[in-house]
């Protein structure tokens, strides 16, 4: 088990391709690393009260930004301590871009669209009460997670996650993330610009994630806008748990409903250990 409070938190770098962490950059030299920063970036900040993306340095004042739901103070200080302490009792596996992870879910080959059950023994025990709490909200009343991924970020490792869209073959409509130990910013982006507003270049919407809050992405925020965490927005150790549900293809009435039923039976046993 790696000490979460160690100076670098890295035993073996797991970065591949264009992804890097501070360890990579120290070994290769920053001058050899190419910047992917676009020339034109239009920046907005998400206002959870109005559900508007408000312009920071753009001629467009604001626009509606649907598909983001907040639940502040989803857990207490005591629950945060309990959850993160339990995670640190398990092994954190090195991941790319300075992250560490723990997976509680089936092994999936998204390219070949294949699911393997080997090693999957359910979500962790402490998640049961969290899932029950989620379903008390009407937006999540039918949310049934089949997979949980814990991620550990630290500024000393240069942790980040590149803008990306989660798979939609196996994973369903809602992505639910619990943010712990520090505030951060989730950056939503359209790299090709925003034609509806006449914006060319990249468009970014910064979504603030308070400590101990729950955020749900759905609709356009889930399927059109890429989401990521920039290195500069990791100001202290950050741990998050992301829960994913099954797509319609794996639910009752879908072509792969039998596989989905088996996955849910395992997931909801809440006896899981990281795979």
State yes or no: pLDDT of 229 exceeds 90: yes
- Strand partners of residue 189: 204, 226
Residue 39 pLDDT: 75
78 inside domain: yes
12 inside domain: no
Average pLDDT of the chain, as a whole number: 91
d(CA 149, CA 152): 10
What confidence tens digit (pLDDT) does each residue in 54-77 have?
998 777 789 999 999 999 999 999
94 inside domain: yes
2 inside domain: no
Domains of the chain: total = 1
pLDDT band (50, 70, 90) for residue 2: very low
Question: Are 158 and 25 contacting, i.e. CB atoms less than 8 angstroms apart?
Answer: yes
The verdict on pTM exceeding 0.85 is: yes
Residue 1 pLDDT: 46
More confident residue, 189 or 193: 189
Closest CA to 60 of 233, 205, 225: 205
211 inside domain: yes
87 inside domain: yes
Residue 37 pLDDT: 60
159 inside domain: yes
The CATH number of whichever domain residue 229 belongs to comes to 2.60.120.590
Please give the residue range of the domain that contains residue 247. 38-267
CA dihedral 205, 72, 138, 227 (to 10 degrees): 30
pLDDT band (50, 70, 90) for residue 29: low
10 inside domain: no
What confidence tens digit (pLDDT) does each residue in 128-138 have?
999 999 999 99
Locate 142 and state its tokens: 């039918």
């Amino acid at each position: 088990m790696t000490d979460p409070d160690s100076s670098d938190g890295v035993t073996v770098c797991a970065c591949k391709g264009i992804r890097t962490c501070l360890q990579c950059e120290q070994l290769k030299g920053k001058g050899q690393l190419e910047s992917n920063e676009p020339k034109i970036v239009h920046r907005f900040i998400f206002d959870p009260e109005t559900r508007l993306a408000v312009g920071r340095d753009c001629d467009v004042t604001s626009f509606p930004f649907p598909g983001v739901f907040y639940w502040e103070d989803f857990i207490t200080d005591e629950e945060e301590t309990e959850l993160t302490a339990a995670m640190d009792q398990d092994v954190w596996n090195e991941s790319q871009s300075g992250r560490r992870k723990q997976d509680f879910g089936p092994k999936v080959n998204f390219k070949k669209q294949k699911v393997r059950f080997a090693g999957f023994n359910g979500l962790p025990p402490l998640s049961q009460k969290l899932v029950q709490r989620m379903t008390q909200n009407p937006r999540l009343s039918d949310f049934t997670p089949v997979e949980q991924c814990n991620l550990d970020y630290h500024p000393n490792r240069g942790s980040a996650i590149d803008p990306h869209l989660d798979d939609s073959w196996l994973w369903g409509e809602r992505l639910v993330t619990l943010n712990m130990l520090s505030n951060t910013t989730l950056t939503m982006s359209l790299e090709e610009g925003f034609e509806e507003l006449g914006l060319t270049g990249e468009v970014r919407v910064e979504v603030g994630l308070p400590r101990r809050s729950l955020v749900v992405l759905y609709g356009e925020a889930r399927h059109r806008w890429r989401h990521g965490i920039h290195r500069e927005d990791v100001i202290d150790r950050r741990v998050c748990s992301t829960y994913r549900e099954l797509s319609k293809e794996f639910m009752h009435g879908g072509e792969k409903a039998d596989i989905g039923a088996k996955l849910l039976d395992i997931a909801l046993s809440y006896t899981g250990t990281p795979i």
